[in-house]
């Protein structure tokens, strides 16, 4: 049975796994992204993960899920590189092929690979159409239908759902716009809300964990619930998908907000029926499994 390496590059962490044709993970590892440094630091850590995973193994291909606008044919990041400093313009496939020139390498957007995983063996299996949202350091998006597959757009910039405007002239986003969804419902967005309220910095997971004892934490989560619920209503009314699947690191704290978001959506949407809102099944593993599926599809 063929084995490939799937790599999920995020703004905070890089996850990698050795995966077979059934989506089973045989080995996995992770490293900090090092996104405060230059792109060569990030590329170096990707190489370290690949070398660790392929030791003693026959690897047929490597799939990479990366933030940003991705030209999937060339395997490079276009004008926006997500939450990795200096990542725009990185020729991922070309750079990695210098060291792994005997292994085919394929590159895809990080939210797209998460959607591919969930459609293959996760929460999207059997759905005719769905929208994928990944709430992590930033917000990724993917649009999938059985008929057309992943929607890329003319310039590989389609489904950048994190960069739709939630608050006109709001917080400055790394993409150059102001008020993007990403600045409010991502992990970093939640931390910014708490900072604005309290004047203090606190990690997202601590904000959720302290919500019963810290009023600013409670208000922060209430705002997140309203913002995410509002955004889900917009997605429902724009796309009318069979499902909306929510993944990314923030989903790990869903016991604090999931039911509240569903209640807000149902109470405020003009027609909430017909679209299932589902948690992703594979969480932090979705990106690497989806990247592996891209590699498997192309060998």
For 102, phi and psi rounded to 5 degrees?
Answer: -100, 5
Burial of 153 (0-12, 13-18, 19+ CB in 10 A): exposed
Tens-digit pLDDT profile for residues 18-36: 999 999 999 999 999 986 6
Contacts of 281 (CB under 8 A, 6+ apart): 118, 121, 122, 123
At residue 183's C-alpha, the angle toward residues 179 and 186, to 5°, is: 150
**Count of CB atoms situated within 10 Å of the CB of 56:** 6
For residues 77 and 156, the model is more confident at: 77
Instruction: Look at 9-13, 45-49, 191-195 and tell me which has the smallest mean pLDDT.
Output: 9-13
d(CA 81, CA 39): 10
Three-state DSSP string of 261-280? HHHHHHHHCCCCCCCEEEEC
Tens-digit pLDDT profile for residues 119-154: 999 999 999 999 999 998 899 999 999 999 999 999
d(CA 72, CA 108): 6
| Sign of the four-CA dihedral 170, 173, 178, 184 | negative
- Answering whether pTM is above 0.85, one says yes
Q: Which pairs with CB-CB distance under 8 Å and at least 24 residues apart come from 95-102?
A: 95/43, 96/43, 96/46, 96/47, 96/50, 96/62, 96/64, 99/47, 100/47, 100/50, 100/62
Q: Which residue segments constitute the domains of the chain, with CATH numbers given?
A: 3-113+284-298 (3.30.420.40), 126-280 (3.30.420.40)
**Count of CB atoms situated within 10 Å of the CB of 14:** 25
């Amino acid at each position: 049975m063929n084995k490939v390496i799937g790599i999920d590059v995020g703004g905070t962490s890089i996850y990698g796994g050795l995966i077979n044709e059934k989506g089973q993970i045989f080995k996995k590892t992770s490293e900090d992204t090092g996104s405060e440094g230059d792109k060569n630091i990030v590329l170096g850590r990707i190489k370290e993960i690949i070398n660790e995973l392929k030791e003693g193994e026959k690897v047929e291909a490597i799939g990479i899920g990366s933030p940003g606008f991705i030209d999937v044919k060339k395997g490079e990041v276009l004008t926006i590189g997500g939450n990795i400093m200096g990542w725009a313009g990185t020729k991922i496939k070309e750079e990695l092929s210098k060291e792994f020139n005997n292994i085919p390498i394929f590159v895809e957007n990080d939210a797209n690979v998460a959607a591919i995983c969930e459609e293959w063996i996760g929460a999207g299996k059997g759905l005719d159409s769905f929208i994928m949202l990944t709430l992590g350091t930033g917000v990724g998006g993917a649009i999938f239908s059985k008929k057309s597959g992943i929607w890329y757009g003319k310039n590989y910039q389609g489904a950048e759902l994190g960069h739709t405007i939630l608050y006109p002239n709001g917080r400055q986003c790394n993409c150059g716009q102001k008020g993007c969804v990403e600045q409010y419902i991502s992990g970093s967005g939640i931390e910014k809300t708490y900072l604005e309220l309290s004047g203090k910095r606190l990690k997202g997971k601590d904000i959720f964990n302290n919500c019963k004892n810290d009023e600013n934490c409670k208000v922060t989560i209430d705002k997140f619930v309203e913002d995410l619920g509002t955004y889900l209503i917009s997605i429902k009314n724009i796309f009318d998908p069979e499902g909306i699947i929510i993944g990314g690191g923030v989903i790990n704290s869903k016991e604090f907000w999931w039911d509240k978001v569903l209640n807000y959506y149902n109470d405020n949407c003009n027609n909430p029926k017909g679209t299932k809102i589902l948690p992703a099944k594979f969480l932090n593993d979705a990106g690497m499994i989806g990247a592996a599926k891209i590699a498997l599809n192309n060998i």
